[in-house]
Structure 1
Amino acid sequence: MLSLKLPRLLSIHQVPKGYREQGILFGYRPPSSSAADCILSIFQMTNETLNIWTHFVPAWPCPPLASLLPCCISPLASSCAHTFSTMSTRARHICYFFDYAALSMYSLGSALAYSAYVFPADWVNSTFHHCYVPIAVFNTVVSTSLSCYSR
């Protein structure tokens, strides 16, 4: 019979400070986990399990509008970030950089959809309408940059 060995979970005092979350005392996955351990841990009750599944499941609907693609990518990127963040310190930062970028892309996708489909008719072709998308792109770049820098 196939038997899978789930990764051992750690307490807050057993993980480096960079991995600790305020208020979370137990359920940490070991730093430097392998990709296989990270995938196995999504079926285990860790301090990330709820984040992983609540971001992974909504990523799979197929919305009819391409402008809603960021709505699917954002939770998928977040789920992957929470799943693979314990592989190494570098992987943790890279995972969350992608998570932040996906959140910013979600914001940009929402701005594009708003501009294309529901922008008030009186404002279409106004100066504000012409500046709206470039400002949204600028906001995406700045938000992602600042989020990654703060990490």
Structure 2
Amino acid sequence: MATIVMDRIGRLFISLQQIRQVPQMLNQVAPSMPGTIRDAEVPHCFRERFISTGYRPLHQNWRYYFLSLFQRHNETLNIWTHLLGFLILLIKLCHLAETVDFVRDPHSWPLLILVLSALTYTGSSVTAHLLGGKSELCHYLFFFMDYIGVAQYQYGSAVVHFYYAVEESWYGCVRGVFMPAAALLSCLSCMGCCYGKYCNHSLPAWVRKVGQVVPSAVAYVWDNSPVFQRLFSWSSAGDDPALIFHFGQVAFLLSCTFFFTCPLLESCFPGRCDFVGQSHQIFHVLLFCCTLSQIQASHLDFLGRRALYSRLHDRGDAALFVEMYVLVLLVCVSIVAFMMTNVKQLLQSKTKLK
């Protein structure tokens, strides 16, 4: 037994050594990859508060930005936190598909929407942090796409909470209103985030954060109202295994909201968090933990509350919510297209001033 354990530890050590050699191998393959630069050398929209070094140079070829996945810079951990999250979500989806009939059971479609929306926001986040450094135009475009992913995730959260987590009393109050309002708030959240990013050049940082956080906060309160009601009645809920995961996703989301709005570590240790320790990195980790808790809670509700939600929702509701999911996506894409026209005009006017 001891021999087997030592053999596995030895193999793990060899694997870790091989992983550590990846940056050196990349340097041999692409020795011309430039190093990072300081904040004064990049446009204002790229600069993060209290992050002074580790910025990648602009206008390199695409290969450089893809290979920068393995380079040390101030976006490295922002990329990897959600890249690993994306892969974990793919594995989670495969595991769910083994027991959940996502094709023939319409009642499972809200759960599928949640997982797909989580994949969308993690994937778009990875793309934004990886490729958004190529140029100012790419920076705006990829981060606007990231905000589409956020809006989709907000809508996916609303669907599972209204479909699986809602109590009959709250369902009677908001039936016919809840999902249209959730769809509208998702679109407004996308618009607020895009406008805050667009005004990066002219507004103080706290004003931009307010523009990005307030619409998302209103959407969050509305989308989670069924969960809040469940949590408030915890003592009378009996043995409900989903409640602990609902509580976890609320706690994680409130925590990551704090780190999104407040660059705590960077402000306390300016210049020392350029690679690791950024509040946005912590925000990524907490948001992904929130997502995992939410998926687990929704899966447990899907399994344990079928008698209730199948009585509240007919088979056509799930199809309607899927159609609204597509509609939210199309509206958010239209918002991004409109904002990109403004961005192009802004960049053209800056070029003329030079």
SS at the partner of 1:42? helix
2:136 corresponds in structure 1 to 89
Contact 1:7–1:41, Cα closer than 8 Å, also in 2:
no
1:139 corresponds in structure 2 to 185
- Structure with higher helix content: 2
Length-normalised TM-score, structure 2: 0.41
**Match status 1:13 vs 2:40:** yes
| Higher Rg | 2
Shift of 1:122: 2.4
SS at the partner of 1:26? coil
**Match status 1:4 vs 2:30:** yes
Matches within 5 A, 1:3-82: 3-5=29-31, 6-60=33-87, 61-62=89-90, 63=93, 64=96, 65-67=111-113, 68-82=115-129
SS at the partner of 2:54? strand
Shift of 1:150: 1.8
SS at the partner of 1:23? coil
For this pair of structures, how many residues does the alignment match? 150
CA distance in 1: counterparts of 2:196 and 2:59, whole angstroms: 22
Which blocks of at least 5 consecutive residues in structure 2 are unaligned?
A: 1-24, 97-110, 198-354
Q: Give the root-mean-square deviation of aligned CA atoms.
A: 1.6
Shift of 1:127: 4.0
Shift of 1:129: 2.8
Q: Which moved more, 1:4-13 or 1:71-80?
A: 4-13
**Match status 1:117 vs 2:144:** no
CA distance in 2: counterparts of 1:29 and 1:138, whole angstroms: 37
Which blocks of at least 5 consecutive residues in structure 1 are unaligned?
A: none
Contact 1:33–1:86, Cα closer than 8 Å, also in 2:
no
Contact 1:32–1:89, Cα closer than 8 Å, also in 2:
no
Deviations 1:104-134 (A, max 9, x none): 111110101111111112233x241321111
CA distance in 2: counterparts of 1:12 and 1:88, whole angstroms: 15
The one-letter code of the counterpart of 1:83 is L
Contact 1:84–1:91, Cα closer than 8 Å, also in 2:
yes
**Match status 1:150 vs 2:185:** no
The one-letter code of the counterpart of 1:139 is L
1:98 corresponds in structure 2 to 145
SS at the partner of 1:130? coil
Contact 1:115–1:129, Cα closer than 8 Å, also in 2:
no
Contact 1:55–1:78, Cα closer than 8 Å, also in 2:
yes
Deviations 1:29-87 (A, max 9, x none): 01223221111111011010010000111112232341221111111110110000111
CA distance in 2: counterparts of 1:73 and 1:17, whole angstroms: 28
Decide whether aligned partners of structure 1 residues 86 and 33 sit closer, same or farther in structure 2, where only a CA change above 3 A counts.
farther
Shift of 1:25: 1.1
Task: With a CA cutoff of 8 Å and minimum separation of 6, indicate the structure with the bigger relative contact order.
Answer: 2
Length-normalised TM-score, structure 1: 0.91
